[in-house]
Structure 1
Amino acid sequence: MRVYLHGLSTALPPHILDQSDVRARAEMLFGGRYPQFDRLARTFETAGIVKRHSVVPIDWFARDHGWADRNAAFLDGGTALFIDAARRALDAAGWTGADVDCVVTVCSTGIATPSLEARAFTDMGFRDDVMRVPVFGLGCAGGVSGLSLAQSLAAARPGARVLLVVVETCSLAFRTDRLQKADIIATVLFGDGAAAACLSTDRPGGSPVVTLGRGHQKIWADTLDIMGWEVDGTGFGVIFDRAIPAFVTAEFAAATEGALRAANLDRNEVARFVCHPGGAKVVEAIESALDLTAGVLDAERAVLRDAGNMSAPTVMFVMKAVIDAGTTGQMVGCALGPGFTAAFLPFHVAAEAP
C-alpha cells in the first residue's frame, strides 16, 4: 500500500535571535560565572548559525524562570506553532481540518495535557471523532520517527487522511543556574520551530509526487547518557555528550546500511540522504560516515544557518528545501536522537505520477 505526501509545511515563531546578539547576552549572563565560557564562546562563530527564532523575545531570557513560566510559554508558543504549521500543510494538500481522520503530534520540549492538538481543536476545525496520537520523548529523531509513524497509520487505514505536526520550543530550556558545558552548547545551537505533513494512500493530483516508505530505527544499548533531558524543579536541562560526532563517525554507516537492507535498497539507488543537522560538526560527521562529498549536505547547512537546531522538525525543513529545489529520485531521511537512536525513512520523489 503506497502512502503519499499531500502537503509539507514549516513554521517559525516571531522572535528572531541573531547569533551575535545571543552570544553577547550569553557572555553577560555566563561570562563572569563560568570560567570556561571564553573558550566555549568560540562555538558561536563556528556553529554555522546566523539566526534562530524563539517563541519568546530575547529579554525573556534575562530573568529567572521555573517550571510554571517555562511551560506557560510552551503552551502559548507551541499551540500557535502547531496551528500555523498545520494550516499551511492542509492548505498545501487542499484539505481542511474537518478532513483529517488522524492527527499525530510530536513534541519533547514541554508538557501539555490536554495535548497540543486538543488545544488547537477549535481553531483547526477538527472533527470530534478525529484520532489523536500525541508522542513525547523522541527529541531530535522525532521528525523522521513521526513521519514513519504517520506513514504506518496511513498504510493501515487506506483512504484515511493523516496529519503529522512536529513542534519544538527548545529555547525555553535555556538555563543559567547549572553552569554546565551542555547548557552553553544548547545556547549556541537551539531554536524553535514546527513542521507538518499530510499523508494518505490516495494518489495526489499534483506534482512532484512523494511516496513515503516504511521507517526503520536503530537503538544502541547503554547509551542513555548521550542525549536527552535532565528534569528538576527549574525545568528541562539538556544532556549533550561531547562524543556525539565521534559516535556518528563510528556507528552511523552501519546503522544506515541496516536501514537500507530493511527497505530493500542498495546504496547506489539513493540519490540523496536528507539529514537532521544537529550542528556543524554533526553534519561533517555524517558526511564522513556515509562517505559523502564534503559540503554536499547543503540544504542541511542552510537550515542550520537560518533557523538553528530546532530538534525534531529540523529534518522536515531540510526535506521541504530539497523537494522545493526540484531534486528527484530515491532519498532517505535520517536523524539521531535520545535513546541513543537513529531513525530512517525512505521516500521517493518523482516529477510526475508513476
Structure 2
Amino acid sequence: MNVPAPAHLLSLATASPSHSMRQDEVLEAATQLFDGRFPQFERMAPVFKHAGVLTRQLAMPVEWYLQPRTWPERSAVYDEVALDLFCEAARRALDEAGLTGAEIDVIVTVSSTGLSTPSLQARAIARMGFRPDAAGIPVFGLGCAGGATGLGLAARLATAQPGCRVLLVCVELCSVAFRMEDFSKVDIISTAIFGDGAAACVLSTGADGFAAVAGYAEHTWPDTLDIMGWRVRPDGLAVVLARALPPFVRKEIRLAMERMLASQGLTVEDVDRFICHPGGMKVIEAIEGAFGLGQGALDRERDVLADHGNMSSPTVLFALDRIRQAGLPRRSVVTAMGPGFTTSTVTLAA
C-alpha cells in the first residue's frame, strides 16, 4: 500500500493594518466611551492592564470606532481592508515560496469577522494573478480555531492531489465588530484583547519546506455552543465569549489533546513544542497549566499577544512564524480553540 507523501509548508507570512494603537490609548478611548454609559466599567477597567496586550493594529483610525456604525458600513470596511490584507499576506507567502499567483491551484480563505460575496479570493483574482481554474474554498465560522483548522484542511487538500499548490489565507478584522450600543462585560473584554491581521502560507507535496504536516485532528465538546461565537444584531455581529473559558480549558484540554495525539500514535510527552493560539493571558496560563509546561513556556505566544492582540484565526500562525524563525523543534503541534466549542491540532515534523 502506497503511503501518500506529506504536505510541506513552503512558506509563511503575516500582514497587519497600518493603524496601530497602544493599550493605554485604547484604555483612554474606552474610558471616554464606556464610563458613565456602563456602570461597571470602572470595576472592569483593570482588564486592559492585565490582558497582556501592549499594542495592536486596527482596520481603521480610532475616530472611526467612536461613532455608531451600521452593518453596511462595517461590511464596506471589511471588503476593502480584509482584501488588502489578504493580498499583502498572500503575496509575501508566494514570494517566499518562489511562486506566482498563477502557479496556485487551490486557495483556502479562512475568515469569521465579515461576510463577503463574491469571496475575498474572487475579489483578489486580478491583483494576485490567480488562474481562472484555481479552486476557491472560503471557510466561515471557525473563529479563533481557524488558523489550525485551516492549516489542516490545506494539508489535506495538498495530500489529496499530489503536486498541487495550496494557498491558505487567514484574515480577520475583529475590530469591525466593535459596537457602541447595548454594552456588556464581553464587549469590555473584547475591546481589551482583540486586534486585526492576516497570515498566509503555501503547502504542497511537490517540494520540501520548513516543516511537513505529519497529522491533524479535531475535538468538539458537546453542549458547549454558548462558550464562543457570534450573535447577529441589527448593527452587525456581536461577540459571544464565556467567562468560564479559562477554567474550562484548564479542566478539559489535556484529555482532548491526549485523544487527538493518540490517533497519531503520540502522547503529550512526545511533543517538543506546543504552538498555541494566544487567545488571552488567562487562556495561555490555563494551557500551560493543563500541559504541565511551566509558567512562561509559551513565550512566543505571549509576544504575539503583546504586539498584536488576539486577531482570531491568523494569531496562531503569527506564533508559528516566530517560532520557526527561532528554529522549529523536531516535532511540534499547532493548536487553537474556537466556536463549537472545538479544538484543532496540526502536527508538524521539522
Shorter-chain TM band: over 0.9
Q: CA deviation digits over 1:18-48, x for unaligned, max 9? A: 1111101111000011111011110100001
CA shift at 1:187, angstroms?
A: 0.3
Paired residues, number:
346
Aligned pair partner of 1:187 in 182, 188, 191: 191
In the alignment, structure 1 residue 275 sits paired with structure 2 residue 255: no
Aligned pair partner of 2:149 in 125, 145, 148: 145
- 1:308 corresponds to: 309
Kept in 1, the 8 Å contact 2:67–2:180? The answer is no
Kept in 2, the 8 Å contact 1:82–1:167? The answer is yes
Kept in 2, the 8 Å contact 1:100–1:130? The answer is yes
In the alignment, structure 1 residue 102 sits paired with structure 2 residue 103: no
Q: Distance in 2 between matches of 1:164 and 1:327?
A: 20
- Write the letter of the residue equivalent to 2:273: R
Name the SS for the 2:261 alignment partner: helix
Q: Distance in 2 between matches of 1:18 and 1:169?
A: 17
CA shift at 1:111, angstroms?
A: 0.5
Q: Distance in 1 between matches of 2:111 and 2:267?
A: 33
CA shift at 1:214, angstroms?
A: 2.7
Kept in 1, the 8 Å contact 2:177–2:237? The answer is yes
- 1:132 corresponds to: 136
- 1:343 corresponds to: 344
Aligned pair partner of 2:119 in 115, 119, 128: 115
- 1:69 corresponds to: 73
Kept in 2, the 8 Å contact 1:300–1:318? The answer is yes
Unaligned runs of 5+ in 1: 350-354
Q: Distance in 2 between matches of 1:40 and 1:148?
A: 37
Percent identity of the aligned residues?
49
Structure 1 stretches of at least 4 aligned residues deviating more than 3 Å after TM superposition: none
Aligned pair partner of 1:164 in 145, 165, 168: 168
In the alignment, structure 1 residue 51 sits paired with structure 2 residue 55: yes
- Write the letter of the residue equivalent to 1:329: R
Q: Distance in 1 between matches of 2:349 and 2:50?
A: 34
Q: Distance in 1 between matches of 2:81 and 2:290?
A: 36
Q: CA deviation digits over 1:141-171, x for unaligned, max 9? A: 0000000000000000000000000000001
Kept in 2, the 8 Å contact 1:31–1:38? The answer is yes
Q: Distance in 2 between matches of 1:296 and 1:39?
A: 30
- 2:158 corresponds to: 154
Q: Distance in 2 between matches of 1:54 and 1:309?
A: 12
In the alignment, structure 1 residue 175 sits paired with structure 2 residue 143: no
- 1:14 corresponds to: 18
Name the SS for the 1:34 alignment partner: coil
Q: Distance in 1 between matches of 2:151 and 2:318?
A: 13
CA shift at 1:327, angstroms?
A: 3.0
TM-score normalised over the length of structure 2: 0.98
- 1:223 corresponds to: 224
CA shift at 1:237, angstroms?
A: 0.4
Q: CA deviation digits over 1:208-260, x for unaligned, max 9? A: x3001232110011111100000011001000100000000010000110111
Q: Distance in 2 between matches of 1:260 and 1:89?
A: 29
- 2:91 corresponds to: 87
Q: CA deviation digits over 1:277-330, x for unaligned, max 9? A: 000000000001111111010000000000000000000000010000113210
Report the aligned-residue RMSD: 0.8
